Amino acid sequence: MNRRTRMIVSVAGLVSVVFAAGAFGISRVSTSDEISTASDAGVIAPSGVASAGGAPAATLDGLITQLQTRLEAVPGDHVAWSTLGIAYVQQARVTADPSLYPRAEGALDESLAVAPDDNFLAYAGLSSLASARHDFIAAKDFAEQGLAINDFNPLLYGALSDAEVQLGNYDAAREAITSMLRLSPDTSSYSRSSYLAELNGNIAFARTQMTEALAGAGTPTDRAFALTILGDLAFNAGRPGDALDRYNQAQAEAPQDTASLSGKARAEAALGQTQTALDHYAELVAVAPEPSFIIAYGELLESEGLTAEAEQQYAVVEVIQRLFEANGVESDAAPVLFFAEHGEPERALREAEKAVLVRPFLAMHDAHAWALYANGRYDEALVAIEKAMELGTPDARFYFHAGMIHLALGDRDAARVELERALEINPFFDVLDVPVAEAALAELGVAG
């Protein structure tokens, strides 16, 4: 799951928790990350969302403890079981601890055992869990089962849209997002609309949607999430200074937010503030050992010639990847790219071929293409990268991969066009790949 998708799904997870926790009055969960005992049993509308990195672990710890206490007293409360399952999924995302996924599954299964009929919240939780494990076929099925019970629930439309995007069903995703926006025009729905626009190359509309989300954000965590995505849009368009401003604003709103801290470190590196970036990456991976964060940290270390330190980070990635696999998490684009670029091309291709069959998303096609390239299968790599680029997504990495594949095939003109386009979109897209693109263009006779 790529960065933007992971952020959106993380937001959906806490919205579900907020909605469900208020539904039976166990707690009042505000989007400023406050939990307290509720004095009433009113339903909290799901208008608030988590920050891009999710709620702080301590906040979720408190909610989980409250839910466990309630279930000891009222074991037949199916809403509490569903909420506990969703909270475990969210906690796993925040802490990068996939060992919580089996607990989430147990809680959600218990909810359905208690209330097998009309239990749409359990299906929302199961869809969220399946997405977290990258099983998007199951995520779609669970979301549809929930909608068959309650087709006025925006959380389920959000879950469905996430699955449809990852399955490559972009028109179906748009329909689900339209329904979600109609029912609940909030940060969670606007972010999904923005992401689909970004995938289709409509960056102006993507930015407009997130600006709408920011304008309507009522809490610090809502604002931090919107600001982080606006920062990502700026960074991906080659404007790290503007991006850093947004990330700093997000950090001011929610200092514990991990996604904005990750963006901040990336932007600092692009702006030449290397030691500051390294310090922030070290801070980040200490609290959120998520593979993509660790890889980014390791690659920045590698780009600075700190090979031993980089290898230490890469070793951690391997350990965490095994932990994810042991807890039912399917292959993702990020580890495929990591294996392809760090000496394990055969492993990368095995993982990519397995993943792309069940998850034909653009980023997965791109990772598949790069794994094929790393194994010298250039003709097949070209077919795969064309699938990744079919929507016209302005992703510099896609164009870089396309350029290198064309170069390997001897098509120098196409290679030059694609590599120039990659650097035109974002001359800071990757600390290791940008120098490769520049060197390739130099060999092709293109002045830097």
In three-state form (DSSP H/G/I as H, E/B as E, the rest C), the secondary structure along the chain is: CCHHHHHHHHHHHHHHHHHHHHHCCCCEEECCCEEECCCCCCCCCCCCCCCCCCCCHHHHHHHHHHHHHHHHHCCCCHHHHHHHHHHHHHHHHHHCCCCHHHHHHHHHHHHHHHCCCCCHHHHHHHHHHHHHCCCHHHHHHHHHHHHHHCCCCHHHHHHHHHHHHHCCCHHHHHHHHHHHHHHCCCHHHHHHHHHHHHHCCCHHHHHHHHHHHHHHCCCHHHHHHHHHHHHHHHHHCCCHHHHHHHHHHHHHHCCCCHHHHHHHHHHHHHCCCHHHHHHHHHHHHHHCCCHHHHHHHHHHHHHCCCHHHHHHHHHHHHHHHHHHHHCCCCCCHHHHHHHHHCCCHHHHHHHHHHHHHHCCCHHHHHHHHHHHHHCCCHHHHHHHHHHHCCCCCCCHHHHHHHHHHHHHCCCHHHHHHHHHHHHHHCCCCCCCHHHHHHHHHHHCCCCC
Distance between CA atoms of residues 140 and 142, nearest Å: 6
Nearest to 230 by CA among 268, 187, 200, 273: 187
48 within some domain? yes
Percent of the chain with pLDDT over 90: 81
Which amino acid, one-letter code, is at 91?
Q
For 233-259, the pLDDT digits (tens) are 999 999 999 999 999 999 999 999 999
Asked if 198 and 329 sit in the same domain, the reply is no
Same domain, yes or no, for 38 and 130?
A: yes
pLDDT at site 143: 98
Residue whose C-alpha is closest to residue 344's, from 363, 383, 317: 317
- Within this chain, do residues 250 and 325 fall inside the same structural domain, yes or no? no
Both tokens assigned to 313: 């980070």
- In a shared domain, residues 369 and 268: no
| Residue 290 covered by a domain | no
Q: What is the mean pLDDT of residues 152-158?
A: 95
User: In one letter, which amino acid is 384?
Assistant: A
pLDDT band at 2 (very low <50, low <70, confident <90, very high): low
Is 164 in the same domain as 215? yes
Same domain, 163 and 273: yes
Each residue of 313-333: pLDDT tens digit?
999 999 998 999 999 998 889
What is the average per-residue pLDDT within 102-122? 97
* 298 lies in some domain: no
pLDDT value, residue 160:
98
Tell me what the mean pLDDT of segment 31-60 comes to: 36
Instruction: Quote the number of domains for the chain.
Output: 2
pLDDT in tens, 184-217: 999 999 999 999 999 999 999 999 999 999 998 9
From 17-21, 111-115, 289-293, the region with the lowest mean pLDDT: 17-21
Residue 396 predicted with pLDDT over 90: yes
Contact indicator for 306, 335 with CB cutoff of 8 Å: no
- Structural domain range at position 224: 3-284
Confidence of residue 95 (pLDDT cuts 50, 70, 90): confident
Closest to 22 (Cα-Cα) out of 67, 71, 65: 67
Same domain, 100 and 191: yes
- Predicted confidence band at 218 (pLDDT cuts at 50, 70, 90)? confident
Q: Over 60: is that where the pLDDT of 80 sits?
A: yes
Nearest Cα neighbor of 96 from 305, 324, 262 is: 324
Closest-CA residue to 269 (of 224, 313, 301): 301
Which of 242, 267, 284 is at the close of a domain?
A: 284
333 and 267 within one domain: no
pLDDT at 10: 53
Domain with residue 336: its CATH number is: 1.25.40.10
The reply to whether 291 falls in a domain is: no
Say yes or no: 326 and 257 in one domain. Answer: no
pLDDT at 75: 96
The answer, yes or no, to whether residue 90 has pLDDT greater than 70, is yes
Residue 262 pLDDT class (50, 70, 90 cuts): very high
In this predicted structure, the answer to whether residue 130 has a pLDDT above a threshold of 90 is yes
| 258, 284, 310 - which closes a domain | 284
Residue 59: band (very low, low, confident or very high) from pLDDT cuts 50, 70, 90: confident
Sign of CA dihedral 114, 118, 124, 129: positive
Domain boundary among the residues 284, 301, 336 is at 284
The pLDDT mean for the chain works out to 89
In the chain, the N- to C-terminal Cα span, in Å, equals 34
Does residue 147 lie in a domain region? yes
Let me know whether 386 and 252 are in one domain: no
Q: pLDDT at position 58, please?
A: 56
pLDDT band for 171, please (50, 70, 90 cuts): very high
Q: Are residues 243 and 193 in the same domain?
A: yes
Mean pLDDT of the region 19-35: 37
- In this predicted structure, the answer to whether residue 44 has a pLDDT above a threshold of 50 is no
Q: Please say if the pLDDT value at position 79 is more than 60.
A: yes
304 is a domain residue:
no
Confirm whether 289 is domain-assigned.
no
Q: For residue range 416-442, what is the model confidence (pLDDT) as tens digits? A: 999 999 999 999 999 999 999 999 999
Both 261 and 358 in a single domain?
no
Tell whether 118 is covered by a domain: yes
Q: How many beta carbons lie within 10 A of that of residue 376, not counting itself?
A: 9
